[in-house]
Amino acid sequence: MAKIGKRLKTAQAAFGEKTNLSVEDAVALVKAAASAKFDETVEVAINLGVDPRHADQMVRGVVSLPNGTGKTVRVAVFARGAKADEAKAAGADIVGAEELMQSIQGGTIDFDRCIATPDMMPLVGRLGKILGPRNLMPNPKVGTVTMDVATAVANAKGGEVQFKVEKAGIIHAGVGKVSFDTEKLAQNIRAMVDAVSKAKPAGAKGAYMRKVSISSTMGPGVSLDLSSATAN
């Protein structure tokens, strides 16, 4: 069993038996307990009543957080000609076609988001086994297969977060930094929960959203009162 460090023990003691807090109270607690030497990410975990092994219960989508993520996102774009120029002008970090595919096949994946124009998908499709497990495969459902590459690049760099349910029925996502003020983090958390709520699949039965918790990168988690998390 992994040894629990003093910092985590102190944080756990501060959390005590506190559960089902309002979003603002939970954020304040997480911020106060964050003591790492770097600006920790505030992460949300949403437990859903779905079985993603069934296609009609898959949950995925995208949300633009009102206050951004606080993270620098590196964007790669598969495009040629005028669309490649458009992507570069919009701030894409890497733009290419065959040479970009070969670089990825060689093991270089120096980006956090991958965008492609529709005509490039036969090429990108060869990278499915590499990009798919990393949740980097371009997908029209989340706006990363598009002719409007400039908007896609701007969204990726401006606080857009993609989410996809994991095998255990949980969605994890970063929603800001502990340096953000409480109100901004609360707004981001509610935007994330709202987006997941709206992404409820047709095959979901019974209680859809079962539990929402937040934590910092190095800290313990605390559960939120669902009515507070879903309030707009």
pLDDT at 186: 97
Check whether 7 has a pLDDT greater than 60.
Answer: no
Q: Give CA–CA dist 111/31, Å, rounded.
A: 28
Give tens-digit pLDDT for 161-186: 999 999 999 999 999 999 999 999 99
pLDDT at 35: 87
pLDDT at 10: 59
Domains of the chain (ranges, CATH numbers): 6-69+161-229 (3.30.190.20), 75-157 (3.40.50.790)
Give tens-digit pLDDT for 31-68: 999 988 999 999 999 999 999 999 999 999 999 999 99
Contacts of 114 (CB under 8 A, 6+ apart): 75, 76, 77, 78, 124, 131, 136, 137, 138, 144
Q: What is the mean pLDDT of the chain?
A: 92
pTM of structure: 0.84
Q: Classify residue 183 as left (phi > 0), alpha (psi -120 to 50) or beta.
A: alpha
Is the distance from CB of 187 to CB of 3 less than 8 angstroms?
no
